[in-house]
Structure formats: structure tokens, C-alpha cells
Structure 1
Amino acid sequence: MSPNPDASPPQPGFAPEHRTAVAAAVEAGDLLRSRYPDGFAARPKGELGDVVTDLDVQAEQLVVGRIRSCFPRDRILAEESGELDGEGDGGRRTWLVDPLDGSNNVVIGLPVYVVGIALCVDDAPVVGVVHDPTTGRTWSARRGGGAHGPDGRLATPAHGRPLPPAGPLLAWTQGHAVRRDDPAACTLRHTLELRSRRLLQLWAPLVAWAMLARGDIDGFVGYRAEAIDLPAGALLAREAGMAVRHLDGAEFGGGFRGPDTGRSFVAGRPDVLPYLLDLVAASGSAPAQSPTSPPPS
């Protein structure tokens, strides 16, 4: 039997979950924008200089409430509330909610913050949403369905823009639990700074993931990254055509389970990734050849 030329291609799943996540992120973003830059209170969080605001808490309550009303059986892992069991046994599905990624930026009046939501099934991200309240823009992805933004589908071009002699434009993140003087983190970050045109440290990882998916930056390197942000960002970048690897070049799963030592990553345009992995190797984080120059244009 010959195929039907008029048949529609298979559609990715999780459309209701995607709609719920987008709507919840936008609604939370409206709340954040209405009270930024001075309509909130902040307090220290932990002993490493982090902060939390009442905006984090209120936006999280809003997002969790929307998810719970639509998917009451699902487990939720939220930045401020921790693990929240559903009406069932939790099953294979876990939502991850970062209601305000960039709280430290908000406190100092820097408008670099987003709302992040992901759904994982068996630790693999299947839905990811990043919403920027400042601009009102949303980027989202479903596994197998591509990544999309306000202007349509995000897609990495077959041949990226040439890299200048100064090297790629990169972003960096490290987990909150990583000490500032951690030798491996310091060496890796220093190597990236020396071999890149710029190394952005935004203190809002999901902003960097969105920039990578859009093609605004060439790569993103994370050392023992936070679990709550990783699935949404990794899915968004991967569905936009970016490559995501562990520091040793192995395929990166993009989940949230396991120790933070397993959440170090290198992400970037496929044509730039070998150079980035060489940079990591030059820092002593993984075995490979030392870089000599950016990849040819």
C-alpha cells in the first residue's frame, strides 16, 4: 500500500501541557512585570549570597496552581516550595517551576529575568517554556516538535556565522552550591574567558538558553548547573538545532535527577561545538586536543 501524499506528518505530543505551561508563564510574567522594579521585598536565601523575593513566592504559587488545576496527579518540583506530590503516586511525570530566574538581578534593578517551566517524563524533558516579562516574549519547545518564539520556529542555520579571530561569544553558569574558589570552576571559566570574544555571566541561566536557541550567542557552558532550570533550557536549545554535551563530549540527557556533578554541560552550534569541547579539555576538565584557533569560517 503506497503512502498517502496528503497525509499530515505525525504531530508531537503534550499539546495540552504545552498550552498550560505557556499560559501559566505569561500570567506569572504579568505579575512580575507589574511589581518590577520596586514593588517587592527581598531577603537572603542560604549562606552563599543568594536572595529570594516575595515575587518568587507569589509567581510560583500562581504557576503551581495552574498546573495543579489541569494535571492534579502530576508531581511538581518548584524552586521555592520544593517537591509537591500530586493526587496520584507521582508516576513518571514531573513539572519543574522556576518562577523567577534572575532574582539577584531583579533586586539590583537589572531587568534580566524570566519565568521557566518544564515537564519531564522519566527525567527527559518533553515541554520547555521560557517567558521574558520585560519584553513579553515567550520561547517554547516540545520534544520532536521544534522550538518556537514570537517570530515563529527557531532553527540553527546549516552554516552559522563565521567566528572572528577573537573567538566565540559564550555564556557561563555555575550552580549556587559551587564555591567561588572552586579550582575546576575557576580554571574552566578562566580558559573560556581567554579563548572567547566575550563570556557572559547573566545570573539567569534560562536567559542564556533562550539566547543560544535564538542564535544570539555561539555557546553556553555550565558547571554543576541548577536542576530546576536545566530541562527547559536544554530542550529549547536542542529543538532549535543546538548540540548539548557533557564536558567529555558524551550526549547530554538534559534531566534533573542525580548529583550536580552530572549537570555540567557544553552547548552550542554544531559547527562550534568541537572548538568548545577543546576549550574544556584545555582547562583539564576532559581529555582532548588543546585548541589553537577558532573553527574555520
Structure 2
Amino acid sequence: MHPMVNIAVRAARAAGNVIVRNIDRLDRVRVESKGRYDFVTDIDRQAESVILDVLHRAYPRHAILAEESGAAYNGGGEAEYTWIVDPLDGTANFLHGFPQVGVSIALQHQGQLTAAVVYDPLRQELFTAARGSGAQLDGRRIRVTPRRGLEGALIGTGFPFKNQQLMPRYLQMFATVAERAEDMRRAGAASLDLAYVAAGRLDGFFELGLKPWDIAAGALLIQEAGGTVSGLQGDDDYLQSGDIVAGGLKVHAGLQRAIGGL
């Protein structure tokens, strides 16, 4: 395994241990509101702290962009490498005891995604990828599905509940895709949804208004599993816009045709 992926795995497992230790202690978890339907817990912060500690000890000159602490380290200036970290993807799920949460860690080298880890601490499933080396689930190679379009496809998505202004447009997209695909899934942790696309559990995925830490690792997993990731118009600015379409080549094209102009 690539040495930087190894470090990310170590960090993700450490964060996962924090999450697992507290999943049955929800009555003791401290919760703060960051905005409408946007919460942070002391477990998010503890998980992020252990990730940042592992990454900073291994690579003190690397920059880190993390959900709860923002630019936690700047690498001493214009860093060549930037880690993009979501310590607990699916905080609302965690607070309700809904067993779909993930730890997401990605690495950018000069703006290009080069390493990715998505870890499901409750199922202990580890998704990893390094640019040019493929994607794996628990050490086994994974591939996106070869489905030839939206017909018969199982599509993952997420409602933009944190930004209600996006909801009318999103609901139009949802209805359009639902008319064409076999079925839809909304589980509440985008990093795992994208990992599931890479592993062939979902045929495709789309969502609006996400953050870089929600999608960076999952995007590389899909690309290394033979899939395609883009913005709604087929561009590559999804990390900046937060609007993402992903899947195997033909499913991605079908999603883009269906919702790209909405």
C-alpha cells in the first residue's frame, strides 16, 4: 500500500475507534448547532483531533483542510500537499444511532487528488485508493458496475437539507432521475455513498451543495475503480461547487443528461 495511504488508514482507524466507543453513549454526547440542521458534536472534534495528530506527526509540512477546524495547518505557507478530512461524515445519523457513518480522508498533491481512505467504523470496512493503483475494499480490488444507463440502475443521493434554497431544484432532479432509474437510496453519508459506487453497490450518485471533505476521498475511489466524477455540466470543479455526479461511464452520462440542464 502507498505510504501516504497507510498513514491515512492509521488516522481513519484512530478516528473510527473514537466513534465506536461513543455510539452507545449518545446521551452523554455534547451537541452544538453550526446552522440550520447542521450540527457538530464533541465526538466530531475528538475524531478530528486524532486524525490531525497522526497526519501532522507524519507530515508536519503538509497542509490540512478539516471540516471542524478549517485550515488546521498551513504547512508553513503554500504547501505542496493538502489533506482533506471529514472526521465523522453522517453526524445526524450518529446522533440518532442510525448505523451509517464514515471517516473520510483524501490527499491532494498540487491540486490533484492522489490518495483516499473512506472508513466505516461500524462495519469495519476500509475503502482505499492511490492514483494510478486502483481502488480496494479491505484489500480486494473493486470496480464500478458496467451498467449501460439509468434503466435498472440503483442511484444514491442526498437532500440539500442544510441549504433549503437548493431544495426546489434538487427535487426536480430527484423526480427526473426517479422516473428513469430502478430505485433511489438516501443514507445520509456522502463519503460512504461514493465508496459504494466505487464498490458496485450503487450504480451512480448525485447531490448538490456538498463540501470538499464530503466528496474528495470518494471521488478518487470512483475514478480509480473505473468510474467518472464531475460537476453537473461535466466539468471538474465539483470540489469547489459541491455539485457532483458520479458513476460508471454510461450511468454518469445518463445522470448528466437527465439533470445537467435543470
Q: Which runs of 5+ in 1 are unaligned?
A: 1-13, 286-297
Aligned residue-pair number: 261
Q: Which runs of 5+ in 2 are unaligned?
A: none
**Alignment match of 1:179 (pick from 157, 164, 170):** 164
From the superposition, tell whether residues 195 and 98 of structure 1 become closer, same or farther in structure 2 (CA, over 3 Å).
Answer: same
CA contact (8 A) 2:116 2:218 kept: yes
Kindly indicate whether residue 219 of structure 2 is the aligned counterpart of residue 246 of structure 1.
no
From the superposition, tell whether residues 176 and 129 of structure 1 become closer, same or farther in structure 2 (CA, over 3 Å).
Answer: farther
**Aligned pairs for 1:43-122 within 5 A:** 43-122=31-110
From the superposition, tell whether residues 178 and 235 of structure 1 become closer, same or farther in structure 2 (CA, over 3 Å).
Answer: same
Kindly indicate whether residue 176 of structure 2 is the aligned counterpart of residue 191 of structure 1.
yes
CA contact (8 A) 1:73 1:90 kept: no
Cα displacement string for residues 111-165 of structure 1 (whole angstroms, at most 9, x for unaligned residues): 10011111112222111100110111100111111111115111246xx257795
- Aligned to 2:128, the other structure's residue is in SS state strand
Question: Who is 2:256 aligned against?
Answer: 277
State how far apart, in whole Å, the 2-side matches of 1:84 and 1:123 are: 18
Residue 175 of structure 1: CA displacement?
5.1
Question: Who is 2:8 aligned against?
Answer: 21
Larger radius of gyration: 1
Cα displacement string for residues 205-259 of structure 1 (whole angstroms, at most 9, x for unaligned residues): 0010111010011100121321212211100111011111221234x366x4x4x
Moved more, 67-76 or 90-99: 90-99
State how far apart, in whole Å, the 2-side matches of 1:144 and 1:169 are: 27
Residue 276 of structure 1: CA displacement?
1.6
CA contact (8 A) 2:157 2:207 kept: yes
Residue 270 of structure 1: CA displacement?
1.5
Kindly indicate whether residue 170 of structure 2 is the aligned counterpart of residue 170 of structure 1.
no
Kindly indicate whether residue 244 of structure 2 is the aligned counterpart of residue 265 of structure 1.
yes
Kindly indicate whether residue 22 of structure 2 is the aligned counterpart of residue 35 of structure 1.
yes
Cα displacement string for residues 173-231 of structure 1 (whole angstroms, at most 9, x for unaligned residues): 35565216633222212222332222222221001011101001110012132121221
- Percent identity, aligned pairs only, is 31
Kindly indicate whether residue 215 of structure 2 is the aligned counterpart of residue 227 of structure 1.
no
* Letter aligned with residue 149 of structure 1: L
When the two structures are superposed, what TM-score results if normalisation uses the length of structure 1?
A: 0.81
Residue 103 of structure 1: CA displacement?
0.7
CA contact (8 A) 2:245 2:255 kept: yes
When the two structures are superposed, what TM-score results if normalisation uses the length of structure 2?
A: 0.91
State how far apart, in whole Å, the 2-side matches of 1:76 and 1:94 are: 5
Moved more, 172-181 or 64-73: 172-181
